[in-house]
């Protein structure tokens, strides 16, 4: 396994600070976040607004040489690029691919539309399917791989749904980011089941954790629950079971941390997450005699 951090989880660090920190702590790569974001609501940068470790999408192509040089100087790889472009905006997808090609990264996230149950799922899925075929054609043109992240609140929250969606497309140019933390919210399937169903479409792994907690009582007396982020070792995702499943399908690619918990400082999260997961991976491998 090789380990990276998706920089959405590094809101306090500049890109220069991020690569130096990741290299010092023993990470193998960095997954850059690329989007035009809103400013932070206060003085503190946030994961999704005012994040200091985010490259603007509007200048991504122009910034690509600087990003590539910065990453290379830190001797880090770029397993993927975390863009926020969607399959229904092909012009933005092509701009993103142009920038990723200049970076020398092999793949990028290209999102499918959100889904909230307010319209026909099948109609929205079929429309997105046609759009993603165009994304796949672009990926082939740029010799890249476009990745769908398993994500709650989207058209494709589960591995089975994503595998079915991509089944007619060439896995050399499209794939899936498996995300067990997102699947706590929606889309959970046994990890091995999902990984086997994905087969050649399994391209990348995001790692974070989450948990459900009671948040109130409804007027009818029933309990209201909500999911929220949790430290890697304290959520519903059983990291050991996940790594056993990854080993069972012979996955030996990238695991990219995307930790949104805040119980520990950022420095402690980065240090402790890597140490914990490496221990789990080594233990699982030893148990299987590998």
CATH for 2-287 (3.60.110.10, 3.20.20.150, 3.40.30.10, 3.40.640.10): 3.20.20.150
Distance CA 255, CA 283 (A): 16
Q: What percent of the chain has pLDDT over 90?
A: 98
The verdict on pTM exceeding 0.85 is yes
**pLDDT tens, residue by residue, 74-115:** 999 999 999 999 999 999 999 999 999 999 999 999 999 999
Whether 221 has a pLDDT exceeding 70, the answer reads: yes
Centroid of chain to Cα 211 = 18
* pLDDT tens per residue across span 139-166: 999 999 999 999 999 999 999 999 999 9
- The residues spanned by each domain of the chain are 2-287
DSSP string spanning 147-201? EEEP-TTBS--SHHHHHHHHTTS-TTTEEEEEETTHHHHTT---HHHHHHHHGGG
Residues 9-67 have pLDDT tens digits of: 999 999 999 999 999 999 999 999 999 999 998 889 999 999 999 999 999 999 999 99
| pLDDT higher than 70, residue 290 | no
Nearest-angstrom CA–CA distance, 171 and 201: 5
Q: pLDDT at residue 288 above 70?
A: yes
Q: Mean of the pLDDT values across residues 114-137?
A: 97
Q: Which residues pair with 81 in a beta bridge?
A: 108
Helices (H), 74-113: 90-103
Q: What are the CA-CA distances from residue 6 to residues 89, 131, 193, 209, 276 (Å)?
A: 23, 26, 25, 14, 18
| Residue 64 neighbours by CB distance under 10 Å | 21
Segment holding 217, helix H or strand E: strand 209-217
Q: How far apart are CA 8 and CA 14, in angstroms?
A: 11
């Amino acid at each position: 396994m090789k380990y990276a951090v998706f920089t959405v989880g590094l809101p306090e660090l500049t890109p220069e600070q991020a690569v130096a920190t990741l290299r010092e702590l023993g990470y193998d790569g960095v997954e850059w976040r690329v989007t035009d974001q809103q400013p932070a609501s206060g003085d503190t940068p946030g994961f999704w607004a005012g994040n200091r470790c985010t490259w603007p999408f509007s200048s991504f192509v122009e910034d690509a040489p600087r990003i590539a040089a910065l990453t290379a100087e830190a001797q880090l790889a770029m397993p993927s690029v975390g863009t926020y472009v969607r399959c229904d905006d092909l012009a933005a997808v092509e701009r993103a691919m142009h920038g990723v090609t200049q970076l020398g990264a092999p793949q990028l996230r290209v999102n499918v539309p959100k889904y909230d149950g307010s319209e026909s799922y099948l109609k929205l899925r079929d429309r997105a399917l046609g759009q993603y075929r165009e994304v796949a054609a672009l990926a082939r043109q740029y010799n890249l791989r476009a990745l769908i992240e398993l994500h709650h609140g989207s058209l494709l929250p589960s591995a089975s749904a994503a595998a079915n969606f991509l089944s007619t497309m060439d896995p050399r140019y499209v794939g899936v980011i498996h995300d067990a933390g997102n699947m706590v919210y929606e889309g959970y399937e046994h990890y091995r089941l999902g990984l086997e169903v994905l087969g050649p479409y399994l391209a990348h792994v995001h790692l974070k954790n989450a948990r459900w907690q009671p948040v109130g009582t409804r007027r009818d007396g029933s309990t209201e629950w909500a999911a929220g982020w949790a430290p890697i070792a304290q959520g519903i995702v059983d990291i050991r079971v996940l790594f056993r499943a990854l080993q069972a399908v012979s996955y030996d690619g990238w695991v990219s941390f995307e930790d949104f918990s805040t119980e520990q400082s950022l420095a402690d999260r980065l240090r402790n997450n890597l140490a914990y997961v490496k221990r789990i991976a080594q233990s699982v491998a030893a148990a299987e005699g590998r």
